[in-house]
Chains A and B, each alone.
Chain A
């Protein structure tokens, strides 16, 4: 906000006498729908999930009384819990590196405007419009050994002899899913980083090349540091989104083979609706919330320090 608009803001809001109070009331009235939504569908569920996590709460039977530390202890005893944590983190790290690295690559590729580049941008963004569940069902057929096009294609050009079974081993199932996620989401990271790239003043590049800076040097010393805010936003979005992965593992790998691709959110779903134990599901979802909050706090610290240095 500029200085002048801040001044007029003061003029409007601290207008003496009669206008001041109605304006305050009007402001509250306009914010009222937001307040109702936040209270009923956000604060109230958060309080309720806290209560549920401390209760023996069955899906059908409802609240059966206090069961405080047991729900949390049950997490540790669930044989799927630690593997799911480990798998979710591994998935998050790999997907984040790929999405941000490839997103940056695409952004650099479509920086300068032309008709061809405009078309490229649209093409890279189109998978974003496909829903995650729709994309999962699409690739479920795409990877299938009965109608998938990849095996016939690779066999006809002689690259492989035997068909690839895309979900048969843990590695195959994992890589197949990661490829789909990169296909679907890389356009978003391209867009975020493209916005960041375009905000860098061209004079900086000109000055650097006059001073004899090579392409690599310019990228390292100008582009990357100035891209930091966009990279940070991309990082936060990507890590948060990946830690909450559900749809594609539920629909594509179904957690298999042998429960080797079960994520934390899948475990929550399983506890609540397969084991019908809302108490342990609530406890697990609060643990997940806690982990995300800590992660976000660390990031805000780092970001603030980063901008202070810059």
Chain B
């Protein structure tokens, strides 16, 4: 009986599946193509015919070498995540649970970073990092990338801490725990979804950023992947090497897609809970 009822509705749904199915193809096709192209033969590339790892071999040996650029990107992302999480967790806790003069101004100033174009800050930061003696370093770049993350991260951590019921920490405070104990043993476990969202965004942004390293890094040995790949495509003896470039795109992209899909459950929950609170 059920089947007979479902049959017409299934036919009625056919246009829907055709439409959504074509959308899936459109969205996945460029990534699938880049992956295949990175293994295929191309004129002027290291992979002369057939399929193989020739393009990756050339990428591996390019200038300072792929391991160097990959390590740079890992260090930059790790430092940025570390700075962002530390500063925004302490800051968010402070904004959510404490009162002190200037609190609201500081919070608004942190959010205001969002309104200032990256280019406006990077021109003076280029001069400033040199004066601080951290120009052309992974540390300097990570500090700058963390600043961009602070508005979103601080906001996220503040609302996460505010959503924790006060009764939890009050009893601990009455028992004589200090505020840092409370943060470590009660508050932090309660804000894990918020923390994961902050980590994910800080990682994706710093791993993929191109503009800040383009301006701040001129020493090739300190280049992150996006900058190195952009140089690679122009600099193989005047011949444009599409194969090695697409191999670089794959190396840059695969870690991001894996982490993004793995953590989807957490950040989707974070976003959806944000909707309920308005």
**Chain A residues near B (Cβ < 8 Å):** 1, 5, 8-9, 12-13, 23-24, 26-35, 37-38, 41-46, 48-49, 52, 62, 106, 109, 116, 119-120, 122-134, 137-142, 144, 146-147, 149, 183, 191, 195-196, 198-199, 229, 240, 244, 246-247, 251, 265, 268-269, 272-273, 278, 281-282, 285-286, 288-289, 292-293, 296
Contact = CB atoms under 8 A, between A and B. Distances in A.
B99 A133 contact: no
Interface in B25-43: 26-28, 30-31, 33-34, 37, 42-43
Contact of A124 (B27, B91, B97, B162): B27
B124 A120 contact: no
| Most interface-central of A24, A41, A196 (chain B CB within 10 A) | A41
Contacts of B249: 134, 137-138, 141
A129 B204 contact: yes
A284 to B, nearest CB: 9
| Most interface-central of B115, B127, B147, B162 (chain A CB within 10 A) | B127
Given A37-B147, A42-B121, A131 B253 contact: yes
Contacts of A138: 30-31, 34, 246, 249, 253
A175 to B, nearest CB: 15
A296 B112 CA distance: 11
B236 interface: no
Contacts of B103: 27, 31
B68 interface: no
Interface of B: 19-20, 23-24, 26-28, 30-31, 33-34, 37, 42-43, 86-88, 90-91, 93-95, 97-100, 103, 106, 109-110, 112-113, 115-121, 123-128, 143-144, 146-147, 150, 154, 162, 165-167, 170, 173, 178-180, 204, 207-211, 214-215, 226, 229-230, 233, 240, 242-243, 245-246, 248-249, 252-253, 256-257, 259-261, 264, 271-272, 274-276, 278
B79 to A, nearest CB: 14
22 contacts: A8-B170, A12-B166, A23-B99, A27-B103, A34-B88, A34-B150, A35-B106, A37-B147, A42-B113, A124-B23, A129-B256, A130-B208, A131-B256, A134-B229, A138-B30, A147-B37, A147-B42, A272-B123, A272-B126, A272-B215, A282-B123, A288-B119
What are the nearest 9 A-B pairs in CB distance?
A131-B208, A27-B98, A133-B210, A30-B94, A129-B260, A34-B91, A48-B124, A45-B124, A285-B120
If over half of A's interface residues share one DSSP class (helix, strand or loop), that class is named, otherwise mixed; here it is helix
B143 A41 contact: yes
A272 B275 CA distance: 42
B204 to A, nearest CB: 6
A139 B259 CA distance: 22
A144 B264 contact: no
If over half of B's interface residues share one DSSP class (helix, strand or loop), that class is named, otherwise mixed; here it is helix
B166 to A, nearest CB: 5
Given A34-B91, A268-B119, A1 B162 contact: yes
Contacts of B240: 146
Contacts of B180: 26
B204 A265 contact: no
A244 B119 contact: yes
A24 B272 CA distance: 34
A251 B23 CA distance: 26
A70 B110 CA distance: 32
